[in-house]
């Protein structure tokens, strides 16, 4: 597969190597040596481009993993915000029940065992002591 015209890369290669090769040509008169040098430089450039392409692919992969992780963390934060709200409500309910039970015991004295099987959750408090 032949390319038409010179690519930007080929033009840059020639611009960068021409002065070096011209200076070096004074010392190296043999065309075979010049051709070998050009070939070695081309191989170095090709290897560097392959390495750059590989690193770019790795970078793209890591960026995608990072994007996915950020999305997961956003979802977790949203769930935690909702759960925090529910937990706060539950803590308020429990605090209300504790205050209610304490007030009840202060009025009547301890008539029940200290340990009970569960909390009643039907009582609601709105920031005040329950009225009797």
For 5-33, what is each residue's pLDDT tens digit?
A: 677 777 777 777 766 666 655 555 667 77
Q: How far apart are CA 129 and CA 125, in angstroms?
A: 7
Q: Own/partner pairs for 116-123, CB < 8 Å, 24+ apart?
A: 119/94, 121/93, 121/97, 123/96, 123/97
Query: Would you place residue 125 in the very low, low, confident or very high pLDDT band (cuts 50, 70, 90)?
Result: low
User: Which one has a higher pLDDT value, 42 or 16?
Assistant: 42
Contact between residue 129 and residue 98 where contact means Cβ atoms under 8 Å apart:
no
Q: Which residue has the tokens 């002591």?
A: 129
Beta carbons within 10 angstroms of residue 96's beta carbon: 19
User: What is the pTM (predicted TM-score) of this model?
Assistant: 0.42
């Amino acid at each position: 597969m032949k390319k038409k015209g010179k690519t930007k890369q080929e033009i840059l290669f020639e611009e960068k190597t021409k002065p070096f090769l011209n200076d070096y040509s004074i010392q190296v008169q043999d065309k075979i040596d010049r051709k070998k040098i050009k070939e070695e430089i081309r191989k170095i450039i090709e290897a560097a481009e392959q390495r750059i392409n590989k690193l770019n692919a790795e970078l793209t992969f890591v960026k995608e993993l990072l994007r996915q992780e950020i999305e997961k963390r956003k979802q977790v934060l949203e769930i935690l915000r909702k759960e925090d709200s529910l937990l706060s409500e539950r803590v308020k309910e429990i605090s209300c029940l504790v205050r209610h039970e304490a007030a009840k015991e202060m009025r009547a004295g301890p008539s029940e065992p200290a340990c009970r099987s569960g909390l009643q959750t039907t009582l609601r408090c709105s920031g005040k002591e329950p009225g009797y």
